[in-house]
A and B are shown apart, each in its own frame.
Chain A
Amino acid sequence: MFGPLFLFELRSHFRRPVTWLYVAIVFFMAFFAISTESFLTGQVLGKVKKNSPYSLTQIYGILLAVGQIITSALVGTTVLRDYDAGVHEILFSTRITRGAYLGAKFLGALLAMLLVFAALPVGALVGTVMPWVDASTLQAINVWHYVQPYLLIGVPGVFFISAMLFSVGSLTRSSFSVYVAGILLLVGYAVAGNLVRQLDYDQLANLVDPFGMRSVDLVTRYWTPVEKNSTTLPVMGFVGQNRLLWSALGALMLAAAFRFVRLEKHATVGARKKQKEDTEQFAPPVSSRTMSRSYEPTPAFAGWWSVARFHTQSLLRSTPFLAIATIGFINVLMNAWYADSNGQNRSWPMSWLMAEASISGASLFMIVLLTFYAGELVWRERQVKLDQVLDASPVQSGSVLAGKFAAMIALMLAFGTASMLGSMAVQVLKGYPHIDLPVYALYVYLTDFPGWITMTAIAFFVQSLVPRKAIGYVVVILVWVLNTVTTNLGYDYRLLQLGTAPAFRWSDLNGTGPYLAAFPAVQGFNLCLALLFLCLTYLVWQRGTELAAFGVRVRRWFSSGTVWVAAGSTAGLAAAGGVFYYNASVVNTYWTREEGEQAAVAYEQTWRQYETLTPPKVTAIAIDVDFEPTAGRARVGSRFTMVNLASVPIDTVLVNVASDAPGLGVILDTLLFDRPFSVVKSDEVWGVRLVRLATPLMPGDSVHLRSVQHFRTQGYPNGQPDRSLVANGTFFNRDKFPTFFYNNQNELQSDELRRKYKLPLQRRGLPRTDSLGLSRQSFLADAAAATFEATVSTDPDQIAMAPGYLQREWRENGRRYFQYRMDTPIDNFFSVLSARWTVTKSQWQNVSIEVYHHPTHTFNVPRMIEASKASLEFFSREFGPYQHRQLRILEFPRYAGFAQSFPNTVPYSEDIGFVARVDSTDVEDTDLPYFVTAHEIAHQWFPYQRMPADVEGAQMLSESLSEYAALVITERAHGRSFTQKFLRTELETYLRGRAGERKGERPLTRVDLQSYIWYQKGSLALFALRDLIGEPALHKALRDYLAEGRFGGPPYATTLDLMRHINAATPDSLRYAIDDYFETITLWDVKTDSVTATKLPNGEYRVTVVGTASKLRADSLGTETPAPLNDYIDVGVLAEPKVGARIGEPLAMRKVKVTGSAVRAEFIVKSLPARGGIDPYNLLIDRNPGDNTRDVKAN
């Protein structure tokens, strides 16, 4: 019986048009993922080709997860269809056995499903050959690359999901359970992923993922582009284990279904209960007044209230609803629990942090709830066949619709509120019970919730329009997908996104800042849109058993008050939209992504020709800034003296002034040179002027520039507003003042985009001997040693701050004035800030240490001061004296997350250090405030004491050296085991960084674009070198490097200068390390196979460490070639780690010269070590940093 039944199943699947619809959906999703830009991922892939095995695997994995809704529809309901059609009783009375029936059903559906998903490789393949696809994003077609991920990821995935949904469907006989199970699978995936990501267990993360995406990520995380392009996923290892587990789980669920599914008809509970009542007598008819009096039709409000209440109760009694809401709530709690950690460092659970966690944790569930229960509510009566009774009752359709809508909103509001309260509870549990209710309410109710109302109304509308609920689900999900896709494609106009949320970011310093202004328009738009959709829903709302002609219904409804509500909401929509449009597109300028790209292209095409123009150097700076922070106004006056330090006359000067930023209007009031000049070319968009001096500036000659610009906040933009001028925490960086060179930061960066606009690939860093490059500083081409003075005024309750020393402070016209002057030359790099700060002061020798912070952000101020003292002390001793008499740390709002060093002044974001919660018992913690403070102070030496030239490797001279110096300081505070934690993290970041490299990796000394090289590899390399040649030798080299050119230039410093000193300090036997770490891309792979300890008669232990080592050289794309080993590598045994450390104190450690692949070392130690291994401190750039040490096995 099995054969014919199976064939019948298969045929019937392919006779149903909907199956072909599924095939088409899968095909086109794969097709568009390959043939269009950023349809799926929203990002370009750099050197990784779109049709590489890696990319195809990603695409398949995502589409498999998205496509589970298809599996729900096709497989999950396959048994149910027999029940629904009522043929089950006939079928089961034939000779078919249960096994044959279920087997045929399942295999038929599985095969159909596999064929549906076979459209993935086909769609991808067809997409690849489309003529419009940028050929440089593709590689030669290898059909196996298309097929292998389908077989490895697709087939087991389809099997598991099909088996699961088939089992659920046939066991519960409820299609709703099938959909809920499908959703719970996705949700479980997200939740489990969230959990294991925090716990950092690779194997667990690998196994809890039914789609195999994390397995792929684990395997490929350090793969270079070459590997991603050429290598299919290995079956053995993470991926194979994962696929095996889930296939087995699928088989298990099938077995359960085969064992437990009953084919006979439902025996209802009620049938059994009936017996009892049959013996009871009927009550006499009731003839009370209530039975005879007649009633008016229900008032609209009472009907609405009853419907709302009834359906709220009904949903609250529904198990699937409670299940989803409960899982959602748990997800929110977990999200909140881990919100204070970035995986490494933690912060205090501030209210805004928890509120953001609450809404982000709830959002997926909001979407799930509203998508599913909008369908459920709209179709409820038709589903249970109560529609005729309801429709024949006198309740108004509007009351029913509005009541159901209100029930949905009430439950979502309850869910959002529960999430918020849960997050508050987490905040309290985490020991920071300062709950800021308005902040929570602002995030949850004002920012987040109105968008859900709109989306719910849209879901209601769709469900009222479609002929079946399942179609409604598909349409609603498509609407959400399209909503995301349009943003990915660069059409991010806020009003085009359904259920958009206004931009918002709370700052303790600046409160709601510039954000609330857009709320009325955006949320008004949302609510009016919701109302309009409700009106439309009302127009198409079905009442009665047949669909009246559309025209008839429209005429009928328009005779009622609907027309007024619809007109009102349309007017409201137009008004809110108009206000938004006026602000975002009239007062401010809106660019689509493409327009933004075109503007960048225009900049480059117009101005790049002036890149080689020699700028005069700024030698005297006097700025005169008047902030009116609360009024949103500022006047910036600059007086620069510029000297021609070149050997040729300068007759043309490129002048950049500040130009309009989102929400910030800028007017150029004055731009005057003290000699005749004319503006040859002008660019308002980018704020560029090409100025021709009537008489050229001769070498050594100087010219004065005076400029005045007015800034004023204006309206609000579509996206994030510029937040430099705010009520509390104004931060005018260098870009608000004139500069005099072509800015290649404005160019399009990615190779893909540059090809798209037929631009040459972007210039990489200049060679280190390039004379133009050597004559310029890497930060600012116009910079040279300059005098600096600033007069800054602000509101009377604020402090205004600029580099230099306070000369005078006074009040005038109700404003507060500060005058600063720097007593040593600086390099044209400065910023001006103003805020209401509390000042905490300390002193190191003659240096005043001052932290300007928000009154309540006192958590880490002492730690910052401590770090400052330690840094000043150590750096002065090791690298040379500190050039200033003061060090100021200034907190600014969390609109940016950096700290930045200016001469004697360090603006420091609210976000990164001020609310950090240092916990040295945490094995991941790297003491962020201490480290960052030390890093920024190190910048006062590197680069401010010797500025790098504008050539490749410049960032090594500032960032790598500062990162290293800061790590040394932090190690002095925390010990060597801390450094291991830090370097291990640095190593992983470096490996991930190079895996995502898009332009080609460079060796450290020639780094030009990649922060993962200049920070992570930089600190690793210098630290490893310190270990090899010793701290005194290395620091002498650094000291000599500074001394050689302190405050000098041009020519400015290059890594050639630094390496000259480092080479001099390195014995020949260790020079290989300089090649490996600094001059090439070298990777090691050491692995400890065993660490065995034998107790000796004298009570000591002989410990033997056995392992392997290898070394590779990589080129810029990651192609690797083996390199000979002749290296000194640490081998050692260590004590039990202390709390908060990964490794313990070394009991024995020595550098072993490794020349072959085998590593073996023996130690005699007094006590039994806990761990041992090769390179325990993670000083090698090791492709697999996790297997360096092992627990000791005692014999």
Chain B
Amino acid sequence: MSLRIERITKTYPNGVRALNDISLSIAPGMFGLLGPNGAGKSSLMRTIATLQQPDSGSIHFRDIDVLREPEKLRAQLGYLPQEFGLYPNMPADAILDHFATLKGVVNPGERKDLVGALLQQVNLYDVRKKSVGGYSGGMKQRLGIAIALAGSPKLLIVDEPTAGLDPTERNRFLNLLADIGEDVVVILSTHIVEDVRELCSQMAIINKGQVVVQGEPERIIDEVRGRIWRRTIPRAQADEYKQRYQVISTRMAAGNTVLHVYAESDPGDGFVQVEPDLEDVYFHRLAEVSGGRVPVEA
């Protein structure tokens, strides 16, 4: 295993327990970290990225004790935080060049090639001389990933990268991630289930600072295969059904409500079995943790 997170706990000064005894093992490839807002995803990411210290626990990446030798990890790290900005009055190539240097690409010729290649890759080459103050959200995000990729990181952490992007930009961005080398550990945190389904070979769901489930997406889906049932009902009856069944998600469709419920066996009452997807697992697990209530109106 490349990245081992063991029993990480973090309580903020305001009393919020952000991480509660989290352990994860992550192999090279794309790793999806799913969880609702406030689940502790960003705290975990920042902790791995050496930006904050946990109260207890340990993190190892390959042979690096991350908490002891953060500077060693940083040399192999690419990090794109959830919210970030750029020096607004500087052009993209200068910013990228700067960060490439900071990440160890000190040979000027080599760095020039790298910057050019990365800008090509994220399709910002033509606007590289423009101040990034004029960039759109997607362009900034792409420049962000270019910065994260500079210096060939062996561990890439991207926190909610697709939030706020339109579908085209989102696809573009996910394609970029998909092209990253196989020996790199990529942690993609998101609350969008689709991102994980499309990209990740492994995943974990965390909620309230704890790992709810971890594994390969397919295996996880297997857990609920045959236990997800669907029915379309008039909207007015939704509350009544929620009382009676273990509803894991509700969705509006043409003015009616589509219910997904979890049941070991056919609940009857007009429910039909459906082939589960990751979303069902996600909502099921979250519902379990929150005591059976539907946590999210999807």
Q: Which residues of A contact B (CB under 8 A)?
A: 268-271, 273-274, 277-278, 280, 282-286, 288, 290-299, 302-303, 305-307, 309-310, 313-314, 317-318, 380, 384-386, 388-396, 543-546, 548
B168 touches A278 (CB 8 A): yes
Check if B224 is an interface residue, CB within 8 A of chain A.
no
Are the C-beta atoms of A394 and B51 separated by less than 8 Å? Answer: no
Chain B neighbourhood of A394, CB < 8 A = 71, 74-75, 77, 102-104, 151
Contact with A along B159-195 (1 / 0, CB 8 A): 0000000001000100110010100000000000000
CA distance A543 to B46 in the complex (A): 12
A–B pairs, 10, beta carbons within 8 Å: A274-B139, A288-B113, A290-B114, A291-B117, A306-B102, A309-B98, A389-B81, A392-B77, A393-B103, A545-B52
Given the known A-B contacts A314-B89, A392-B79, are A303 and B136 also in contact in the complex, defined by CB atoms under 8 Å?
Answer: no
Across the interface, B74 reaches (CB within 8 A) one of A277, A285, A386, A393, namely A393
Do residues A291 and B136 form an inter-chain contact, with CB atoms below 8 A? no
Q: How long is the Cα–Cα vector from A417 to B168 in the complex, in angstroms?
A: 51
Among A273, A291, A318, contact of B134 (Cβ-Cβ < 8 Å): A273
**A306 surroundings in chain B (CB, below 8 A):** 98, 101-102
Q: In angstroms, how far is the closest chain A Cβ from the Cβ of B225?
A: 35
CB neighbours of A548 from chain B (8 A): 53
Query: With an 8 A cutoff between CB atoms, is B135 at the interface?
Result: yes
Q: A273-B134, A297-B74, A546-B52 are in contact. Are A384 and B86 (CB under 8 A)?
A: yes
Complex contact B74–A291 (CB within 8 A): no
Q: B89–A294 contact, CB under 8 A? A: no
- Which of A271, A280, A313, A388 is the one whose CB lies under 8 Å from B49? A388
Any A CB within 8 A of the CB of B106 = yes
Establish whether residues B151 and A295, one from each chain, have CB atoms under 8 Å apart when the complex forms: yes
Question: How many residue pairs between the two chains, A and B, have CB atoms under 8 Å in the bound complex?
Answer: 168
Report yes or no: B139 in contact with A290, Cβ–Cβ below 8 A: no
A286 touches B80 (CB 8 A): no
Interface range for B = 35 or more
Cα separation A307 to B90 with both chains bound (whole Å): 13
Given A389-B99, A394-B74, A296 contacting B86 (CB threshold 8 A): no
Tell me which of A273, A299, A318, A388 contacts B79 (CB under 8 A).
A388
Assembly CA distance A545 to B151 (angstroms):
23
Residue B290 is within 8 A (CB to CB) of chain A in the complex: no
Q: Name the residue on A nearest B72 (C-beta).
A: A297
Asked if B89 contacts A298 (CB within 8 A), the reply is no
Question: A306 — nearest CB in chain B belongs to which residue?
Answer: B101
Instruction: Tell me how far the C-beta of B280 lies from the nearest C-beta in chain A, rounded to whole angstroms.
Output: 32
The distance in angstroms between the C-alpha atoms of A336 and B88, with both chains bound, is 36
Known: A283-B125, A392-B49, A392-B74. A295 touches B181 (CB 8 A): no
Known contacts A282-B175, A298-B102, A298-B106; is A386 also within 8 Å of B135 by CB? Answer: no
Given contact pairs A274-B138, A286-B117, A545 touches B46 in the complex (Cβ within 8 A)? yes
Residues of A within 8 Å of B217, CB to CB, are: none
Chain A residues lying within 8 Å of B139, measured Cβ to Cβ, are 270, 274, 277
Q: Measured between C-beta atoms, what is the minimum distance from B59 to chain A in Å?
A: 14
For chain B, residues 235 to 289, give those with C-beta under 8 angstroms from any C-beta of chain A: none
Are B83 and A385 within 8 A (Cβ)? yes
Given A317-B90, A548-B53, verify A280-B102 contact (CB < 8 Å).
no
Distance from A496 Cβ to chain B, minimum over Cβ atoms (Å): 38
Whether the pair A273, B136 counts as a contact (CB closer than 8 A) is: yes
Question: Does the CB pair B90–A314 fall under 8 Å?
Answer: yes
CA distance A292 to B151 in the complex (A): 8
**B38 CB-CB contact with A under 8 Å:** no
Assuming the A-B contacts A269-B134, A386-B84, are A296 and B104 also in contact, with contact meaning beta carbons closer than 8 angstroms in the complex? yes
Shortest CB distance A44–B (Å): 49
Q: Whole-angstrom distance between the alpha carbons of A1138 and B66 in the complex? A: 86
Interface-central residue, A271, A296, A544, by most chain B CB under 10 Å: A544
Contacts of B85 on A, CB cut-off 8 Å? Answer: 384-386
Which residues of B have CB within 8 Å of A385?
Answer: 81, 83-85
Is the pair A395, B113 in contact by a Cβ cutoff of 8 Å? Answer: no
Contact (Cβ within 8 A) A268 B136:
yes
| Chain A residue contacts of B121, Cβ below 8 A | 282-286
Contact: A313 with B51, CB < 8 Å? no
Chain B residue nearest to A284 (CB atoms) is B121
Residues of B within 8 A of A285 (CB): 121, 176, 179
Please, which residues of chain A bring their CB within 8 A of the CB of B135? 270
Q: Is the CB of B104 within 8 A of A297?
A: yes
Chain A residues with Cβ under 8 A from B209's Cβ?
none
Q: Tell me the smallest distance from the CB of B196 to a CB of chain A, in Å.
A: 21
Q: How far is the CA of A80 from the CA of B221 in the complex (A)?
A: 49
B152 at interface, CB cutoff 8 A: yes
Q: Is the CB of B90 within 8 A of A294?
A: no
The answer to whether B29 has its CB under 8 Å from any CB of chain A is no
In the complex, the answer to whether B120 meets A388 with C-beta atoms within 8 Å is no
- Of all A-B residue pairs in the complex, the 4 with the closest CB atoms, nearest first, are A295-B104, A306-B101, A286-B117, A285-B179
Select from chain A the residue with minimum beta-carbon distance to B131.
A317
Bound CA–CA A277/B143 (angstroms): 14
With contacts A292-B181, A297-B104 taken as known, whether A271 is within 8 angstroms of B123 at the C-beta atoms is no
Residues in A with CB closer than 8 Å to B80 are 389
Q: How far is the CA of A280 from the CA of B175 in the complex (A)?
A: 15
Contact of A290 with B102 in the complex, beta carbons under 8 Å:
no
